[in-house]
Structure 1
Amino acid sequence: MDQRYGEDIYITDGQKRVVISEKNSIVELGTSEYLLDNKLVRIGKHSLKRILQRVGSDSFETLITIIDRIKIMNHVHKAQWKGYPQLSYTLKLENDPNRFKISISFEPSEIENHTLKVITVSNVRSSDFSSIPKENMEQRINENPILVEKMEKIKERLKKL
């Protein structure tokens, strides 16, 4: 875990197909908004930092666009062990001229067999997200339904103290 990067793990073509199949079984459960709202796809803290740095926004719309991209990715570029119980898998779309990559892992869940966790995004160019308007790094809580819900939960906890 002290290493900057994980250890690459060799996986066979058959194992890569299983990873894509498992990813598809999760993302086929609904729209990107549904997947994010119901925590079937989670965005890790590290991923949020990288998205903000590399894309320029971590808005709800940006996260939905990233999940939309995960849905169409059809190739496992590599697998890595980073010291956690789960392996991480870097996905890409075959023949993608932008070479856009997203690293994910699968986590056990009480809701479904697994949930998908976004670990990081890489090889991002501004043209990759041309449909996403660039915006200030600032975001109002009431503009994001996820943040509104989290703030309500925090308020309830504070009332109990």
Structure 2
Amino acid sequence: MTNPYIPPPPPAVRPAPGWARKRYALPALALALFLGAGIGAGGGEKTTDAKPAAASPAPTRTVTATATATVTQTPEPEPAPTVTVTKTVTATRTVTAEPGAGGGSDDDSSVPDTEVHYGNCSEARAAGAAPIHRGEPGYASHLDRDDDGVACDA
């Protein structure tokens, strides 16, 4: 049985690309440039037959800069005026007229009903009524958050 697959052709030998030849030439040229610049900048030694001049003292000038920072303390701001908020709590008392003799009412209580309404717990606390238990005057379900029978408890 013969192999149905054709093997790939062997790789051809190609000459090196142009950039491969430059990888040796360019660094060598750069090195030569830096060496030449370094030698040229050195200046070499100059020989002269003249005697060196005697050193004479010369006055030197020194400049000194001094910076002074001044800190000004700002006055402490005055406290804001105290604001007092006053809420008025209204208590409503409902008084029913007592029926006359022989009236048709079954209510024999002689104590008038008192209804107290608080808009929120702040009003109840301001009136000194908090906490309010279920059945007491001023209790309302909207004041009892957890529905445990105690309004404005905490």
- Structure with higher RCO (Cα < 8 A, 6+ apart): 1
Query: What TM-score, normalized by structure 1, do the two folds share?
Result: 0.16
- Please say which structure displays the higher CA radius of gyration: 2
TM-score, normalising length: structure 2: 0.16
When you count strand as a share of all residues, which structure comes out higher?
1
More helix by share: 1
